[in-house]
Amino acid sequence: MNPIPRRTFLRGLGAAVALPMLEGMLPLSALAQSAPVRPVRMAFMFVPNGVNMASWTPAAAGPLAALPQILAPLEGVKGAVSVLTGLAQNNAAALGDGPGDHARSTATWLTGVHVKKTAGSDIRNGVSADQIAAREIGRETRFASLEIGCERGAQAGDCDSGYSCAYSSNIAWASESTPVAKEVNPRLVFERLFGSEDFREEAESRMRRRADRLSVLDFILDDAERLKAKLGARDRQKLDEYFVAVREIEVRLEKAESEAALHAAAGVTAPKGVPSDYGEHIRLLGDMMILAFQADMTRVCTFMLANDGSNRSYRMLGISDGHHDISHHGGNEDKLEKKRRIDTFHVQQLAYVLEKMRATDDVGGSLLDNTMLVYGAGISDGNRHNHDDLPILLAGGGGGAIKTGGQHVVYPQNTPMTNLFLSMLDRVGVRVEKLGDSTGKLNGLF
């Protein structure tokens, strides 16, 4: 039998559902190989306001025998995670431009470029690592890249000591003057991933789904049944599991929208489709990133848990103070403890994403095996606003390229973080000689 085309979609009114990787998509020669060609994904998860470094940094270099407090939620996936110490984004420092570290740390995180200080339209940065990858490997997928986050930000105006809001709100940059805005509404992310290119049909589909409480899967049933008739038992099971995951996300979206309607009835303004629970917001977006990777809709994603400088409170943790205010701890033990709890909460959400990836089958292993995911911040200690010795994790197997999972790897102080990105780009076949302030590829990881 001829293999099923990799970019097959199940279609219906206003719906286009991409498929997970199935054995039926691989030629017999590939199935017979002990090490089939794997699609490798790249993800970048950004957290704001630095971390409590005393509770983040492992005690010694080498194998992660015991995880620090903040990283303890990663115990179950420890073997797939490396803590990288000594990396820096030196171009996020002032370099004579005065205050504005939150804006600089965000904009510079994936570019390694010292941005132009302006609150006007004449913004200047560099092209970010994710977008360099998207230009090359993005040609193989429906979407070149996916940009998501939990906190919307303005694209103009002064957000940080004379720096444009465009700097504070975006880690993805397509050109020196073009940030790639993130989507924060999970419903809109879902519709982008599973909607058709016919906007009229898509609008009708959404209307019918709302009116009749239908799933997007109800519109592609005929296509799905025809496909299943061609599949083996393992592929039919994998497809059913994928459909269950899609439907679960729809149910959670419907719950979030119902909550928003109740809030509106009570006179409380809340964005429709955005969960009131911050953890659920992160997990929903994380699950959609996983579905997009699983179905090979994209191989590149940036995910901002919040904009740097965010002053969100964490009342679900019993913390009513703003996050940014807490990060300026001044050595106060109470603030440092609150910061540790916030940082641990963020890592708990990361652990959820990584564990779901590990449980998702993919070519030659799991989705986590075929992913390189960078998690971290553009500021180390929020009180000092420093950009050296950044809190950075590298998770996943990179399609077999990453050999040193479960390690604390210590680099010389002020090693450019862009060296990590050069190494990652190299592993997905994107050859780049220079990125921002890079000086070469990293040793000890690949």
Q: What is the pLDDT of residue 1?
A: 54
Distance CA 353, CA 302 (A): 14
Per-residue pLDDT band for 28 (boundaries 50, 70, 90) equals low
pTM of the model: 0.94
How would DSSP label each residue in 275-331?
A: -SSHHHHHHHHHHHHHHHHHTTS-SEEEEESS-TT---EEGGGTEEEEHHHHH--TT
Q: CATH number of the domain at 145, please.
A: 3.40.720
Asked if residue 306 is part of any domain, the answer here is: yes
Asked if residue 242 is part of any domain, the answer here is: no
Read off the pLDDT of residues 276-315 as tens digits, 9 standing for 90 and up.
999 999 999 999 999 999 999 999 999 999 999 999 999 9
- Among 127-141, 159-173, 262-276, the minimum mean pLDDT is found in 262-276
- Among 5-9, 74-78, 243-247, 435-439, the minimum mean pLDDT is found in 5-9
Give the DSSP letter of residue 183.
B
User: 3-state DSSP helix/strand/coil percent for the chain, to nearest 5?
Assistant: 40, 15, 45
Question: Is 22 or 370 the better-scoring residue by pLDDT?
Answer: 370
Task: Indicate if the pLDDT at residue 143 is higher than 80.
Answer: yes
Distance CA 394, CA 83 (A): 7
Q: What is the pLDDT of residue 133?
A: 98
Task: Indicate if the pLDDT at residue 19 is higher than 70.
Answer: yes
Q: What is the pLDDT of residue 32?
A: 47
Q: To the nearest whole number, what is the mean pLDDT of the chain?
A: 92
Asked if residue 250 is part of any domain, the answer here is: no
With CA atoms as reference, report the closest residue to 101 among 303, 381, 366.
381
CA 339 to chain centre: 22
Asked if residue 230 is part of any domain, the answer here is: no
Phi/psi-derived region of residue 372, left when phi > 0, alpha when psi is between -120 and 50, beta in every other case: beta
Asked if residue 86 is part of any domain, the answer here is: yes
CB 389 within 8 Å of CB 397? no
Residue numbers of the domain that contains 65: 38-184+274-427
Q: What is the pLDDT of residue 31?
A: 46
Q: Mean pLDDT over residues 200-229, rounded? A: 86
Q: What is the pLDDT of residue 210?
A: 79
Domain count, the chain: 1
Asked if residue 434 is part of any domain, the answer here is: no
Q: Mean pLDDT over residues 87-106, rounded? A: 97
Question: Is 304 or 26 the better-scoring residue by pLDDT?
Answer: 304
Asked if residue 269 is part of any domain, the answer here is: no
- Cα-only R_g, the chain: 22
CB atoms within 10 A of CB 147: 24
First to last CA, the chain: 37
How would DSSP label each residue in 115-142?
A: ----SSS-------HHHHHHHHHGGGSS
CB atoms within 10 A of CB 37: 11
Asked if residue 223 is part of any domain, the answer here is: no
Q: Mean pLDDT over residues 204-215, rounded? A: 82
Q: Mean pLDDT over residues 350-360, rounded? A: 97
Burial 106-124 (b: 16+ CB within 10 A, else e): bbbbbbbbbbbbebeeebe
Distance CA 143, CA 292 (A): 9
Distance CA 335, CA 188 (A): 36
CB 299 within 8 Å of CB 293? yes
CB contact set of 415 (below 8 Å; sequence gap of 6+) = 86, 87, 88, 442
Distance CA 421, CA 431 (A): 11
